[in-house]
Amino acid sequence: MIRFENVSVRYDDVPHPTVAGIELTVPEGELMLLAGPSGVGKSTLLGAVSGLVPHFTGGTLTGRVTVAGRDTRTHKPRELADVVGTVGQDPLAHFVTDTVEDELAYGMESLGLAPPVMRRRVEETLDLLGLAGLRDRPIATLSGGQQQRVAIGSVLTTHPQVLVLDEPTSALDPAAAEEVLSVLQRLVHDLGTTVLLAEHRLERVVQYADQVALLPAPGEPLLVGDPAMVMARSPVYPPVVGLGRLAGWSPLPLTVRDARRAAGGLRERLAALGGSPDVASDKAGHAAPHGTDLAVTRKLGVRRGRVEALRHVDLTVAPGEIIALMGRNGAGKSTLLSTLVGMIKPSTGSVLVGGADPHRLTPRNLIGKVGLVPQEPRDLLCADTVAAECAAADKDTDATPGTCRALLTDLLPDIADATHPRDLSEGQRLTLALAIVLTAAPPLLLLDEPTRGLDYAAKSRLIKILRDLSTQGHAIIMATHDVELAAELTHRVAILADGEIVADGPTPEIVTSSPSFAPQVSKILAPQQWLTVTQVERALS
């Protein structure tokens, strides 16, 4: 169905090709997962399938890409629209209409489908993706995860032969991600749809894949095959695979269910060692919360139009504390962060950051107290080059020249100074925005989905930087659906539902008691309270 024949893509002013010499075939009716570190060209390959590369993005494509027999060099994106459905990393760039139902119908209108068919497919898709309650909502009022589901739904209604998805679960809560992936699996198995997707959160996706294609770093070969075979050799792999490698299990499990079946002996060994992780050792590098609270909310309420986004929220944040805000899409996590940074004025109650109302502070005073890395990093990026963005961040915060560039290099090496921010991947743009905010070293750092688009190596570097900030007394609040990040990094987890905090406590206590927010290692080794492969490895050594 999809065939890459010696495909290379090179952009102007970039010394090396983004992808080089790719030979790959995706059979009809299969789900293939593209894996690999950030920047190896996953999004570029996806764009080549839909014809966006090079017809829209520019650059030079050599070799040949065919989809259902159509050569993408001679067929522009509009001539492939009846065959290929594409959802990119940024759902906002996908939308054409204003409301959910209109967006779901738009693609079918473009293809000239009959109104009764359109009506039926819209209803089917609303039910499939859990969007029925949002059908009349303006898209601008939806959370990032809800927008992601609408973007996926708008493609599904056209019933394409090929689905191309770039980070389709990156903004979704665990339950919503599972629903979307189950829908994709049904499309593959029942309708013969061919799905090609790129995803960094392999723990969510690898079990659904028929094949995995591991894109190489420059100079290394492409690795394609059965998921277990590829994961056994891959430098990027989910926790369930990491635990299987550590324990020497064969065959290597890809699902929690298979790992639990193999884990009896490991549980016995860990029980003999005490049966619980060394929490003090695990939090090495973290600062214990101390000092005067950096942020306090009391009976905080926020109303956005007809929607009560937050209600009766009580939260205190101490210096050195790392807190994860978790919950379903639309639960109010991003709204709470926006209120803490002064972007939204409370409807009821109060919020104080560093002893002041953030809504009343000038921007210059505000950045000295709190910084926000938004879910859409482009909101912070306005210069023409990475170097200019970093120089502006140094100037705005009175930091030593080179501070922002050094932070960016620590997080994600090998980004050239002359690169335009729009030419970065979603994960790279997010990393640049994080470096810009960290330049001011605010006492309170707010992160909205900080690992969206980051590979495991970049996530590890981010964890190290955030732990160092915590040790220095900075408090960090992150809204995240990444349960593995919360398990690895945070002191506390607060779970929101319908704008209220319904659980707030130490991370091991909260995540191990939640089927939705428990990390893979916790599910495998329950009832013992292990959270990460690192904890298990430390105990066994």
- Residue 325 binned pLDDT confidence (cut-offs 50, 70, 90): very high
279, pLDDT greater than 70: no
pLDDT confidence band for 290 (50 / 70 / 90)? low
- Burial class from Cβ neighbours inside 10 Å (0-12, 13-18, 19+) for residue 388 reads middle
User: Region 529-538: what's the mean pLDDT?
Assistant: 92
| 295 and 132 Cβ atoms separated by less than 8 Å | no
Collect all residues with Cβ–Cβ distance below 8 Å to 400 and sequence separation of at least 6.
394
List pLDDT tens digits, range 235-270.
889 999 999 999 999 989 999 999 999 999 999 999
Banded pLDDT at 336 (limits 50, 70, 90): very high
| Residue 284 scores a pLDDT above 50 | no
Average pLDDT over residues 105-109: 92
The answer on pLDDT for 135 being more than 90 is yes
Q: Could you tell me how many residues make up the chain? A: 541
Kindly list the distances between the CA atom of residue 301 and the CA atoms of 310, 332, 370, 512, in Å, as whole numbers in the listed order: 5, 10, 20, 29
Q: Cα–Cα distance between 146 and 152 in angstroms, integer?
A: 10
Pairing of strands 475-479, 492-497: unpaired
Phi, psi (rounded to 5 degrees) for 87:
-125, 115
Look at 193-207, 253-267, 320-334, 452-466 and tell me which has the smallest mean pLDDT.
452-466
pLDDT value for 276: 67
Phi, psi of 317, rounded to the nearest 5 degrees? -130, 120
Q: For residue 345, what are the contacts with CB-CB under 8 A and spacing of at least 6?
A: 339, 359
The region of weakest confidence among 123-127, 173-177, 356-360 is 173-177
Whether the pLDDT of residue 187 is over 70: the answer is yes
Alpha helices in 308-455 (DSSP H): 333-340, 363-366, 386-396, 403-411, 426-438
Residue 275's pLDDT band (cuts 50, 70, 90): low
Q: Domain 2-234 classified CATH 3.40.50.10490?
A: no
pLDDT of residue 216: 78
**Per-residue pLDDT for 527 more than 50?**
yes
Helix residue spans in 397-438 (DSSP H): 403-411, 426-438
pLDDT surpassing 70 at residue 283: no
Cβ neighbors of 70 (< 8 A, separation 6 or more) are: 79, 80, 83
Alpha-carbon distance of 381 to 388, in angstroms, equals 10
The kind and range of the H/E element at 488 are helix 483-489
Least confident of 6-15, 71-80, 422-431, 509-518: 422-431
For 34-43, the pLDDT digits (tens) are: 998 877 888 8
Please check the confidence at residue 498 and state whether its pLDDT lies above 50: yes
How wide is the angle at C-alpha 77 spanned by C-alphas 76 and 78, nearest 5°? 95
- When mean pLDDT is compared across 50-54, 275-279, 312-316, the lowest value belongs to 275-279
173: left (phi > 0), else alpha (psi -120 to 50), else beta? beta
Give me the pLDDT at residue 280, please: 41
pTM confidence score: 0.84
245 CB-contact burial (10 Å; exposed 0-12 / middle 13-18 / buried 19+): middle
| Mean per-residue pLDDT of the chain | 88
Ranges of each domain in the chain: 2-234, 295-520
**Residue labelled with tokens 């665990």:** 174
What totals of helices (H) and strands (E) does the chain contain, helices first? 23, 19
Residue 289, pLDDT > 60, answer no
Minimum mean pLDDT range among 278-282, 301-305, 358-362: 278-282
Region 295-520: CATH code: 3.40.50.300
Q: What is the mean pLDDT of residues 197-212?
A: 92
Tens-digit pLDDT profile for residues 337-371? 999 999 999 999 999 999 999 988 888 888 889 99
Cα–Cα dist 526/522, whole Å:
6
At residue 398, the pLDDT reads 87
**What are the Cα distances from residue 4, in Å, to 19, 175, 213, 322, 451?**
12, 34, 12, 45, 30
* Confidence at residue 168, expressed as pLDDT on a 0 to 100 scale: 86
Q: Quote the percentage of the chain above a pLDDT of 90.
A: 54
pLDDT of 90: 75
Query: Cβ(174)–Cβ(481) under 8 Å?
Result: yes
Contacts of 527 (CB under 8 A, 6+ apart): none
Q: What average pLDDT does range 507-530 have in this prediction?
A: 90
Give CA–CA dist 415/406, Å, rounded.
11
- Going by pLDDT thresholds of 50, 70 and 90, the confidence category of residue 278 is low
C-alpha 537/C-alpha 319 separation (Å) is 30
Predicted pLDDT at 173? 85
Query: Please, are residues 475 and 446 in contact by the beta-carbon 8 Å criterion?
Result: no
**The two domains 2-234 and 295-520 share their CATH topology (first three levels equal):** yes
Q: Of 123 and 14, which is predicted with more confidence? A: 123
Structure confidence by residue, pLDDT tens digits, 416-472: 888 888 878 777 888 899 899 989 889 999 999 888 878 888 888 889 889 998 999
What percent of the chain stands above pLDDT 70? Answer: 96
Amino acid at position 342, single letter:
G
Mean pLDDT of 374-392: 89
Q: How far apart are CA 49 and CA 105, in angstroms?
A: 23
Q: Please answer whether residues 437 and 371 qualify as being in contact, where contact means their C-beta atoms are separated by less than 8 angstroms.
A: yes
pLDDT of residue 231: 92
Q: Sorting pLDDT into bands at 50, 70 and 90, what band is 141? A: confident
Q: Determine the Cα–Cα distance for residues 477 and 135; give it in Å rounded to an integer.
A: 32
Cα gap 272→89, rounded to integer Å: 46
pLDDT at site 286: 45
Tell me the average pLDDT across 85-102.
Answer: 87
